[in-house]
Every structure is written in C-alpha cells, then in structure tokens.
Structure 1
Amino acid sequence: MSSSSKKQKKQRNKAFYKYLDNDRIYSCSKCHTHLAKHEELISKAFQGRLGRAFLFNSIENVILGKNEDRTLITGVHTVKDISCVSCRSVIGWKYVYAYQEDQKYKENKYIVEKTMLSKENNWDEQY
C-alpha cells in the first residue's frame, strides 16, 4: 500500500471520531477517546459488571454490539454492548428494551463502567 493510500485510509478512519468541545468530558480510560459531555450524565448510582457504573443520555465514539437479553439486578433487559471505537474495549452497554414498566426510562440510555472512564479538560474539585 502506498503512503498516500495509507494516509487516505487513516483520514477516513478519523472521520468516525467525534471531538467533544466542552469544559468537562468523559473519555475512555484506555485510549482517551471522547465519550460524553458531563451534561449527558443522568446518574452515578448504577451497578455494572465491574462495579460502579454511570448512566448517560448519549455517548459518542462507540460501536454497538448485537441485541442480547440479559438478566440484570433490575430484571431482564434487551441490551447491546458498547465498545470504544478507537481501542475496541467494551466499556458498558446500551439499554434497548426494558420488560418491566418501571424500567422503561432506561431505554435508549447507556451504562458505562466507572473504571472505563477518565475525566478530561477543566474539572474542578467541586465535581
């Protein structure tokens, strides 16, 4: 492959990454790819596979896995694993469907394991 072909391929791959321009950003703890603005955070009081997890309205720069019914602490949900688009680490899951009525608020929201998150930019001690 010529150097110009490699450069074009690299530029095409970068087009899938979204840079989040914000004071407080959550990023992948492995590769620091931007994942979410702080404003997208709904709750820090969730449980993931690895311990504490955060619930977000939206996430950027992730790859969605296949639908899978999974029994979680709050019942059965249809979920898709989410992986960082850059390093391919599984960072959490997306809620696709909640079978229980009181869990419907989670649909189309994202769980990200706390251990898979880093804080970027201007975080103050108060946060």
Structure 2
Amino acid sequence: MKIHLICVTKFRKKVFEAKGLDVIEDAFRSVAQKMNFQVLEFKGKADHVHALIEYPPKLSVSLIVNSLKEVSSRRYGQAGLQKPQQQSLWSPSYFVCSVGGAPSEVLKQYIQNQEKSS
C-alpha cells in the first residue's frame, strides 16, 4: 500500500532549513527501516514535509505517522535545531491520501519538485 503524507510544523512556522530537513529525512528513513516500510520519496519546505510511503497492510497509517513525528521531533531537538521557546515541532494534524489513481512516478516527480527550503 502507498500513501502520500504531508506533515506541517506547529502553527505553520517556517522553521526548517536544509540541514533540518536532512535530519527529518534521516529520522523518517530510520523509522521506516525499523518498522519495515519504505520512504520512496521525501522533500520539504520551511513549514512542511512531503513523503511517499509504501507500507505493508499490517501497519496502520496512524502508527506510522505518530512514529515518524515522534522520532523526527526528538532527533531535530537533539541536533540543536529546535529553538528553546518552541514547545513542539509538529502540528498534531497531518494530511494523508492513498496512492492509487496517479502513477507513483507522477507523485515522486511532484514531491521532488518541492523545494528543500523557501
């Protein structure tokens, strides 16, 4: 099963720069490896990230997203990138849609065209 996931920062604050997006991507890929799913594509902007994810039906989308957000937020803070007054990195909400109508390559291209920072 494949999904297109978009996670936004708390209050849509523009906090990510290229280094921060690299930390988030590494965290996403690490979680994927441990939970046995794949991040097929990843890109982001200053206030949100896009990921194309392929996962087995035994995993729930909410479990995947919660794990991705939890680990990436922790690693972002450990890298010294989170400002002291910033209480949480991610908004509690997210957007996800199943990928079925559009070919995966079209979605990969859309995600690749997202800028790393604004």
Larger radius of gyration between Structure 1 and Structure 2: 1
Output the TM-score relative to the length of structure 1: 0.24
Output the TM-score relative to the length of structure 2: 0.25
More strand by share: 1
More helix by share: 2
